[in-house]
Amino acid sequence: MPAKALSIARPLRNPYIPPMTKTWNQKSERPVLGRAPLTQPAFLPMSKKEMDELGWDELDILFVTGDSYVDHPSFAASLLGRWLVAHGYRVGIIAQPRWDKPDDMLVMGRPRLFASVSAGAIDSMLAHYTAFRKKRHDDAYTPGGKAGSRPNRATIVYSNLVRSAFPNIPVVIGGIEASLRRITHYDFWTDKLRRSILLDSKADCVVYGMGEYAMLHIAHVLDQYGETSGTPFSYIAQDVRGIAYMGTHDEIPSQANIVELPSHEEIDADNKKLMTATLSLERHVQEADGWAIQPVGKRAVLLAPPALPLSEDEMDELYGLPYAKAQHPSYTEKIPCVDMMTTSITTHRGCGGGCSFCSLALHQGRRITSRSKESIIQEVENLTRNKRFNGSISDVGGPSANMWQASCKADPEKCKRKSCMHPKVCPQFAVNQTKGITLLRDIQKVPGIKNVRVASGVRFDLAQKDETALRAYTMEFTGGQLKVAPEHICDAVLNRMRKPGVASFEHFLGAFKKYSEQAGKEQYVVPYLMSAFPGCTDNHMRELGNWLRSRGWQPQQVQCFIPTPGTVATASYFARIDENGEDIFVAYTDAERLRQHHILIPSVGRKESKAPQGKRGAYAGKSNGKPNGKPDSKRGSSNHASDKRSERKSQPKREQQPVPTGKSGPKKASPFSVNNR
């Protein structure tokens, strides 16, 4: 629809009011949307020939994505596409189109309702550049692992291509790239502030966070009005949660609670206002009951209340759809991420951590939404019938494996905590980790399953709340390595990260060692660490280096902090203040950032160095793997409706150090270190 139509004043109420149903918490309602379900195809179509085979003369919705098409729920195009087909809408996918001309957009014709655009499972700038702005040479989401199949700022580029191909069509953008740029944000790659992505993309709205019902609601209402009705999009979208669009203050319902964000111009004049805006947006997502508004020039970004989490039944329905768990057959080269994804099971989404550098809570929310045990077991049984499956499940979990079925007893509108885990695990955060262990054991009993692992890792401070679960994770479900994320060991830095103190990590290491020895296993902790975090000084990095050396650990990979849009840590980096407004030291320039990184990994950034850059990493004596150098998912890469495990990269395989022997016989290696002294 024409952009000028968006400024038209809307009536007080949308005349089409769909019936309602109870939602996840049985205290609120969600509209019943959609049409009669369609038969699910083997793959969603990518060509007119495939449409003809399905008997579809046109599409209702076109998805354009910066990823290749893998039919797996870790990819938003697949997950949302099948969700919409299940609700009666014909969906096609254009994956990694050329961006020098709009021809690829035209292969399946103009969609009847709207086009949906996403950069993919990872921010396109993170996909292309390391923490030190060096060009990457591979892409795990592209056939053959080749880099360069999506443009920089892919959401903006694709949106304008869609506009060129289909004039006046409604354009809905989403995914991690768009979601975290919904208001004024700092752009690390140009070292500048940028306005909301709505303005540069000229999209009608951003779907932020988890997008199942926002996308379905938009499709449903456009289906009622028809594309050519001339109805302003702001009017069509007035009852849709989880979206942002351009408008004016008087378009927000008069009775709504409103979070007022500093205007773009105010932030541009005072860097510290970015922290105010970021913390306010964080509260808007957590409270989930009101609108937010950010003035930009003569207009404003209007942010509807966040989407309600899915109920358990809805999660079961979504993940129970018949995904092929394979790449589209049109590809002739293997897509690197497929093997890892096809052996992993998503049990839940959301994270109570609220880490200041992480986009998870801002994107998926702090409320945990879980699948039922029956749904998970059914997926495992289906997986065993896949001829490509070798019997090993690499991961059963979500952002953290030990948060399945967690719930919060507090009222989100009254809770003032920024994290459920920091400074200590909140007593209102309830999770029975023993149930999670029972689930893993029941999966292990399914015929055809050889072993089960939790590659997504565990939240170690939460794990220590249940010794039985911690013992089981260590003794039964760690395949030699267990991923944890201490990030640092200096409490001053950890506090700014909203991470538990070093004492908690050291206690965990002691328990891991004890239980590994009881199991007679040689096992390793794979700790994720970070350099150049806002507030981290060179002395802090030296203290971390000394701590590692005292334990015989040699870091092979460490993530240098990347200021991704939308996070509190990025606001700290840009404004050089902490979230309380106090001035802090920031390693701001590339030289300062490299200096901190070199304290742990001297070779990074030097000539002839083959050390990977821009990736969090493990500790290894020797490595025969070749890491792909991509940033970890928890640094802000996801789809607006996919689980975060879609961006995880497996750590390089390790050759274990030779076990020294003596008169007393073989000595076991330390179960929580790799290089043994």
Residues 557 and 665 placed together within one structural domain of the fold: yes
Query: CATH number for the domain including 489?
Result: 3.30.750.200
Q: Domains in the chain: how many in total?
A: 3
| 410 is a domain residue | yes
Residues 15 and 142 placed together within one structural domain of the fold: yes
Residues 6 or more apart whose Cβ sits within 8 Å of residue 366: 286, 350, 351, 352, 354, 408, 419, 420
Give alpha helix (H) positions in 59-153.
76-86, 124-128
Distance (Å, whole) CA 637 – CA 358: 9
Tokens of 326: 């394979």
Distance (Å, whole) CA 521 – CA 252: 60
Listed residues 477, 503, 525: the one ending a domain: 477
What is the span of the domain harbouring residue 407?
A: 343-477
Distance (Å, whole) CA 536 – CA 538: 7
What are the strands, taking DSSP E only, across 390-452? 392-393, 395-397, 407-408, 429-430, 451-452
What pLDDT shows up at residue 563?
97
What pLDDT shows up at residue 414?
84
The series of mean pLDDT values per 10 residues for the chain, 677 residues long, is 34 40 53 87 98 97 98 97 97 97 97 97 94 93 95 98 95 96 97 97 95 94 72 77 94 91 98 98 92 96 94 96 96 94 93 93 90 98 92 93 93 88 94 96 97 89 95 93 92 97 96 95 92 98 96 86 97 98 97 95 62 36 34 37 36 30 35 28
Residues 135 and 189 placed together within one structural domain of the fold: yes
What pLDDT shows up at residue 238?
78
Residues 181 and 58 placed together within one structural domain of the fold: yes
What number of CA atoms fall less than 13 Å from residue 93's CA on the CB side?
A: 28
Q: Name the packing angle between helices 467-476 and 502-519 (round to 10°).
A: 50
> Which helix (H) or strand (E) is 13 found in, with range?
none
Residues 356 and 240 placed together within one structural domain of the fold: no
Residues 457 and 490 placed together within one structural domain of the fold: no
Q: How far is CA 28 from the centre of its chain?
A: 26
Residues 11 and 68 placed together within one structural domain of the fold: yes
Give the angle subtended at the CA of 598 by the CAs of 595 and 599, to the nearest 5°. Answer: 95
Distance (Å, whole) CA 356 – CA 488: 14
Count Cβ atoms below 10 Å from residue 47 Cβ, excluding itself: 14
Nearest to 99 by CA among 176, 59, 154: 154
Instruction: Region of 46 please: left (phi>0), alpha (psi -120 to 50) or beta.
Output: alpha
Give alpha helix (H) positions in 412-459.
433-444
Q: Strand 29-31 relative to strand 429-430: parallel, antiparallel, unpaired? A: unpaired
Residues 132 and 223 placed together within one structural domain of the fold: yes
Nearest to 294 by CA among 657, 566, 637, 677: 566
For residues 234 and 10, the answer to whether their CB atoms sit within 8 Å is: yes
> Which helix (H) or strand (E) is 218 found in, with range?
helix 212-225
> Which helix (H) or strand (E) is 368 found in, with range?
none
Q: How far is CA 442 from the centre of its chain?
A: 28
Residues 6 or more apart whose Cβ sits within 8 Å of residue 283: 259
| 420 is a domain residue | yes
Q: Is the peptide bond before 486 cis (omega within 30 degrees of 0)?
A: no
| 134 is a domain residue | yes
Please, which contacts does 659-662 make with residues 24 or more away whose CB atoms are closer than 8 Å?
A: 659/522
Q: How far is CA 422 from the centre of its chain?
A: 20
Listed residues 213, 246, 279: the one ending a domain: 246
Listed residues 219, 246, 273: the one ending a domain: 246
| 615 is a domain residue | yes
> Which helix (H) or strand (E) is 628 found in, with range?
none
Residues 163 and 196 placed together within one structural domain of the fold: yes
For residues 156 and 164, the answer to whether their CB atoms sit within 8 Å is: no
| 644 is a domain residue | no
| 515 is a domain residue | yes
Q: Name the packing angle between helices 538-550 and 590-600 (round to 10°).
A: 20
Distance (Å, whole) CA 525 – CA 474: 10
Distance (Å, whole) CA 91 – CA 241: 22
Residues 463 and 567 placed together within one structural domain of the fold: no
| 501 is a domain residue | yes
Nearest to 191 by CA among 80, 294, 271: 271
What pLDDT shows up at residue 429?
95
Query: CATH number for the domain including 420?
Result: 3.30.750.210
| 210 is a domain residue | yes
Nearest to 159 by CA among 128, 114, 218: 114
- Whole-Å CA distances, 628 to 357, 406, 459, 530, 598: 22, 33, 25, 18, 20
- What residue type is 51 in one-letter code? M
Give pTM, 2 decimals.
Answer: 0.86
What pLDDT shows up at residue 605?
58
Residues 467 and 489 placed together within one structural domain of the fold: no
What pLDDT shows up at residue 60?
97
> Which helix (H) or strand (E) is 328 found in, with range?
none
For residues 463 and 457, the answer to whether their CB atoms sit within 8 Å is: no
Residues 71 and 220 placed together within one structural domain of the fold: yes
Tokens 């919904």, residue located: 182
Distance (Å, whole) CA 277 – CA 263: 9
